[in-house]
Amino acid sequence: MTLEPGKLDASRALDAGVSREALRDAAYVAAAFNVITRYADAIGAKPHSESGLTREQAIAHEGRFFETGYA
pLDDT of 39 reads 93
The average pLDDT across 41-45 equals 91
Rounded to a whole number of angstroms, the CA Rg of the chain reads 18
For residue 23, pLDDT beyond 90 = yes
Question: Residues 30, 24, 7, 32: what is their CA dihedral angle, to the nearest 10 degrees?
Answer: -20
Query: Where along the chain do its domains lie?
Result: 5-68
For residue 71, pLDDT beyond 70 = no
Q: How far is CA 59 from CA 3, 48, 49, 55, in A?
A: 35, 10, 11, 6
The average pLDDT across 6-17 equals 92
